[in-house]
Amino acid sequence: MSERWDRTGFKDRVDTLLAEFLSEEAERLLAIDAALKPVADELRGAAAHGKRLRAAFCYWGWRAAGQPDNDALLRAAASMDLVHAATVVHDDLIDDSPLRHNRPTAHIALRTAVAGHPRARGAARSLAMLVGDHLMALAGQLFAMSGLPAAYLARARPVWSDLARDLVAGECLEILSTGGPPDAGTSLKVVRYKTAKYTVEQPLLIGALLAGASPRLRDGLSAYGLPLGEAFQLRDDLLGLFGDPGSTGKAGLDDIRGHRPTTLLAKAWEVAGPDQRARLGELLGRHDLTEADLRAVRALMRELEAPERVEELIAGRVREAVRHLAGLGVPAQARHALTDLAHTATDRDH
């Protein structure tokens, strides 16, 4: 067998599977009432974008334990991307983000459907919340109905519970710390629980548990997955401010307007002098920021070398992840794929 992983072919398989699954579910909603079309449309398009990293980590957790390619496993792995789709809808709602993938977010797009409602903005947000809730329920359904033996699924169920709890904890921690003094310890904890664990570590562990992996292999995959998941989100924070919105599909000032507890902001705050903190503080949490303000924030961050500090954190975590992978003794193809994924997840422009 070739040691090279067909990343594009894998993505195509997951894309097709999710498109068919969500299209079928959208039709079931329409069968209830044609008025549900705006909701069905949001559901149908909810997982239309993405690199399928979470599905890939689940798949290679399975393969790392020595199991072969399997269509039932692919369905279970694809459910990880429905978890992500649900999280995106909820996250955009919590952050009141207007754009995702250069398209209106669910709570913005659904305003058209409730234009005549006496509380149109709140109604659109409620509909989006329900879309996100349904996507999370569908993730569990796709996993449970994947076709894998019940005994396999039972092995992974505790990590599903951990995943749900950690996601909620991370989102809550971000909300509770938003607007507060920037702090690196707090921001890194938010990174870990809101994104890192469900992006890399937990999909890996679910795949490995489905395959009946040994405790040693599971521990090794956790040691690889957690720092890599943190590196992934740290890259996302950098791209949020310094990325090209045409590539990232998100507004460049979202994190500054929201005064969110990002590690980039915390690293800048740590080394800023009184005047620099005052300049930065004047911009945090403001909703009337302009392109000129974006340029000013970027210039100040560069002056404080905050991007370089975050780049060092990313590079260190990637090295740590790959080092743990090297000693696991997994099949060569799995080792090559997981090494490739370590760089794919963190060397990106969107």
Cβ distance 257 to 289 under 8 Å?
A: yes
DSSP-derived secondary structure letter, 47: T
pLDDT digits (tens, 9 = 90+) for 259-275: 888 999 999 999 999 99
User: Domains in the chain, start-ordered, CATH in brackets?
Assistant: 7-344 (1.10.600.10)
Return the percentage of the chain with pLDDT > 70, whole number.
Answer: 98
Beta pairing, strands 103-104 & 99-100: antiparallel
Task: Report the pLDDT averaged over residues 85-96.
Answer: 94
Q: 253-257, 276-280, 312-316: lowest mean pLDDT where? A: 253-257
- Exposed, middle or buried by CB within 10 Å (0-12, 13-18, 19+), for 33? exposed
In the predicted model, what is the mean pLDDT of the chain?
93
- Contact in structure between 48 and 19 (CB atoms under 8 Å): yes
Q: Which two tokens stand for residue 182?
A: 């920037």
pTM over 0.85: yes
pLDDT digits (tens, 9 = 90+) for 51-80: 999 999 999 999 999 999 999 999 999 999
pLDDT of residue 102: 82
Whether pLDDT at 99 is above 90: no
Residue pair 83/121 in contact (Cβ under 8 Å)? The answer is: no
Is the pLDDT assigned to residue 2 strictly greater than 60? Answer: no
With beta carbons less than 8 A apart as the criterion, state whether 61 and 155 touch: no
**Residue 1 pLDDT grade (very low, low, confident, very high; cuts 50, 70, 90):** very low
Exposed / middle / buried, residue 143 (Cβ in 10 Å: 0-12, 13-18, 19+):
buried
Ranges of H-type helices in 96-214:
106-109, 120-144, 150-177, 184-191, 202-210
* Highest-pLDDT range among 3-7, 116-120, 204-208: 204-208
Q: Report whether 101 contacts 249 (CB < 8 A).
A: yes
Give dist(CA 78, CA 150) in Å, integer. Answer: 18
Which range is least confidently modeled, 46-50, 142-146, 247-251?
A: 247-251
Q: Quick one: which H or E segment has residue 103? A: strand 103-104
Query: What would the pLDDT profile of 211-244 be if each residue is shown by its tens digit?
Result: 999 999 999 999 999 999 999 999 999 998 998 8
Where b means 16+ CB within 10 Å and e means fewer, 205-237 reads bbbbbbbebeeebbebbbbbbbbbbbbbbbbbb
Nearest Cα neighbor of 183 from 255, 283, 269, 281 is: 269
Q: Which residues pair with 104 in a beta bridge?
A: 99
pLDDT tens, position by position, 112-170: 999 999 999 999 999 999 999 999 999 999 999 999 999 999 999 999 999 999 999 99
Cβ-defined contacts of 142-148 (< 8 Å, 24+)? 142/21, 142/75, 142/76, 142/78, 142/79, 142/82, 143/75, 143/76, 143/79, 145/75, 146/72, 146/73, 146/75, 146/76, 146/79, 147/71, 147/72, 147/75, 148/72, 148/73, 148/76, 148/210
Q: What is the pLDDT of residue 12?
A: 97
